[in-house]
């Protein structure tokens, strides 16, 4: 099959155009391909694979697998690349369209095409954040305030150290840890797996380690469940800005710039429950090729 390697802020996936051609082996074939092809030594290399299909609830569908073969509900960087692919391929002429992933529909808008007619920047309506403990989800039995409560600055002991976490779902679970200095030297690869697999998170979790520089600037590193540390995470960046607003660290309604290892994303949220989070960032094609499955 023909594939396209793409990335958003270094969060790279292997994309397969399944709008006309099905993927061999069904769901199990997709899962095994994600494990094999994501390997950076013996495969193509990536944070996972994404299949682009015709949508039933939206114009297009994104089917995403992490590098360990597990399904993921949403990827903000991945969905921007899907948007770039379908627009550049001529599958849509409109500069606004929709993409679904595991039933959730997201609205995309082409922001710029700086190199001829090729898309380089998109914005996505990522939907409204979820705060209720049972819906994120976190282990409600370990939450003193109950299933419907918000998890803000909740103390948790991980690896013998106590952290305070703010938990948000952007269609997938996130635990945000605010640090007192930039996370450049924070041991993400050591602490990240401990968070991911802690019993507080019944479906595992993505964990963001963030430092708020000022009211409109955040530095962040992320440990993604099923993948490990990635250079960027779109949903994680959204969750971090939402958590920062909930904690009064940045200004609601403003565009917040988040510096990630792979580049910058701009996130905007009104601060009102039920309102959407908007994410703007780049999408880049790296190379195309053929792989035998």
Q: Which active-site residues does the annotation give?
A: 75, 233
Q: What is the largest CA-CA distance in the chain?
A: 55
């Amino acid at each position: 099959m023909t594939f396209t390697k793409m990335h958003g802020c270094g969060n790279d996936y292997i994309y397969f155009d399944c709008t006309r051609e099905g993927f061999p082996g069904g769901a199990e074939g997709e899962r095994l391909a994600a494990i094999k092809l994501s390997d950076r030594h013996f495969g193509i290399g990536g944070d996972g694979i994404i299949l682009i299909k015709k949508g039933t609830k939206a114009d297009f569908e994104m089917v995403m697998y992490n590098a360990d073969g597990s399904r993921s509900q949403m990827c903000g960087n991945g969905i921007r690349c899907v948007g770039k692919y379908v627009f550049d391929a001529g599958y849509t002429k409109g500069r606004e369209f929709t993409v679904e992933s595991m039933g959730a529909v997201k609205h995309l808008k082409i922001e710029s095409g700086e190199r001829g007619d090729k898309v380089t920047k998109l914005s996505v309506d990522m939907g409204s954040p979820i705060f209720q403990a049972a819906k994120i989800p976190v282990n409600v039995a370990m939450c003193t305030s109950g299933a419907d409560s918000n998890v803000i600055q909740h103390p948790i002991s991980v690896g013998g150290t106590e952290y305070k976490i703010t938990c948000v779902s952007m269609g997938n679970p996130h635990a945000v840890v605010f640090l007192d200095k930039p996370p450049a030297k924070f041991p993400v690869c050591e602490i990240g797996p401990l968070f991911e697999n802690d019993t507080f998170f019944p479906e595992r979790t993505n964990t963001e380690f963030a430092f708020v520089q000022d009211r409109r600037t955040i530095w962040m590193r992320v440990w993604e469940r099923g993948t490990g540390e990635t250079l960027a995470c779109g949903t994680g960046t959204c969750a971090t800005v939402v958590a920062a607003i909930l904690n009064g660290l940045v200004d609601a309604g403003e565009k917040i710039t988040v510096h990630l290892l792979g580049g910058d994303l701009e996130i905007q949220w009104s601060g009102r429950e039920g309102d959407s989070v908007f994410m703007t960032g780049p999408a880049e094609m790296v190379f195309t090729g053929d792989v035998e499955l």
